């Protein structure tokens, strides 16, 4: 199937979306965990549900073909995800898809961000990251000047390129926050708050990355720019992201219990 092959190529060829390989296994685990916890029973699927599911599957196939023929891959990708959900609706009924709607919604992380949206988000995030990093460093009297996505230091110039815009961090941390919200809360409100909190967390962590790189460059070291140092920095900041999300989860739990 061209759509699946295209998705697999994207996951394997673009590290921004390498998490795509684990999305379906994670969804299966979350559904299994919840089904065991609640001891849910399978219900008989009615004829009307099967007819509606059949129509939905046919529609998804049509959209997939249109997306493939027109080169509008986002349409094909969406039809693939909706096809999975509608197939489950056809086989297991509306009660299943309603009960596991949050778990099934995680399938959206299978789909790469459309190129047009990615391009529109990248530049504002580059500028925001550059401005905030520069402002924080200047607050501590660090000699730095910012112009657009360029950071001028005393001995060198740093450029906040597309890869450093923070969009990659937002995608991965959003996925992490989504899983954590399902494992932590039953309340839709609590889940939503934790998921959306991932966006400022990702931006903050990316600002910390730029600050570390600026300080490293200022003191004549390039250890964090490539190789093991760069990998270590990325892993360390990911741990920081997880720690912040856990703190936010605790705060949400505290506020929810206090109500």
Q: Shortest CA distance to 248 belongs to which of 206, 211, 202, 212? A: 202
Q: Where are the domains of the chain?
A: 2-110, 115-258
* 155 in Cβ contact with 201 (< 8 Å): no
pLDDT attached to residue 164: 60
Percent residues over pLDDT 90 in the chain: 31
- Strand-pairing partners, residue 159, are 150
Span 185-236, pLDDT tens digits? 989 999 999 999 999 999 899 889 888 888 887 777 777 777 777 778 888 8
* 178 in Cβ contact with 106 (< 8 Å): yes
Residue 252 has pLDDT above 60, yes or no: yes
**Rounded mean pLDDT of the chain?**
85
Predicted TM-score of the model (pTM): 0.87
pLDDT attached to residue 242: 92
Q: Shortest CA distance to 73 belongs to which of 18, 4, 23? A: 4
């Amino acid at each position: 199937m061209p759509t699946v092959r295209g998705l697999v190529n994207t996951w394997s060829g673009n590290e921004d979306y390498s998490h795509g390989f684990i999305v379906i296994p994670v969804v299966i685990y979350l559904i299994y965990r919840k089904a065991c916890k609640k001891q849910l029973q399978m219900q008989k699927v009615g004829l009307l549900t099967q007819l509606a599911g059949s129509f939905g599957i046919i529609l998804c196939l049509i959209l997939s073909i249109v997306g493939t023929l027109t080169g509008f891959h986002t349409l094909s990708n969406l039809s693939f995800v909706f096809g999975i959900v509608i197939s489950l609706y056809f086989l297991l009924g509306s009660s299943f898809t309603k009960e596991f709607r949050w778990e099934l919604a995680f399938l959206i992380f299978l789909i790469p961000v459309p190129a047009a949206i990615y391009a529109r988000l990248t530049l504002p995030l580059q500028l925001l990251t550059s401005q905030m990093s520069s402002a924080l460093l200047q607050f501590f009297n660090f000699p730095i000047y910012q112009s657009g996505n360029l950071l001028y230091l005393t001995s060198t110039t740093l450029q906040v390129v597309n890869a450093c815009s923070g969009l990659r961090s937002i995608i991965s941390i959003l996925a992490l926050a989504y899983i954590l919200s399902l494992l932590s809360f039953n309340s839709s409100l609590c889940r939503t708050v934790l998921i959306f909190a991932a966006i400022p967390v990702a931006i903050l962590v990316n600002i910390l990355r730029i600050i570390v790189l600026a300080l490293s460059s200022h003191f004549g070291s390039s250890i964090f720019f490539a190789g093991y140092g760069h990998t270590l920095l990325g892993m360390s900041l990911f741990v920081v992201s997880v720690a912040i999300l856990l703190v936010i989860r605790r705060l949400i739990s505290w506020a929810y219990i206090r109500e």
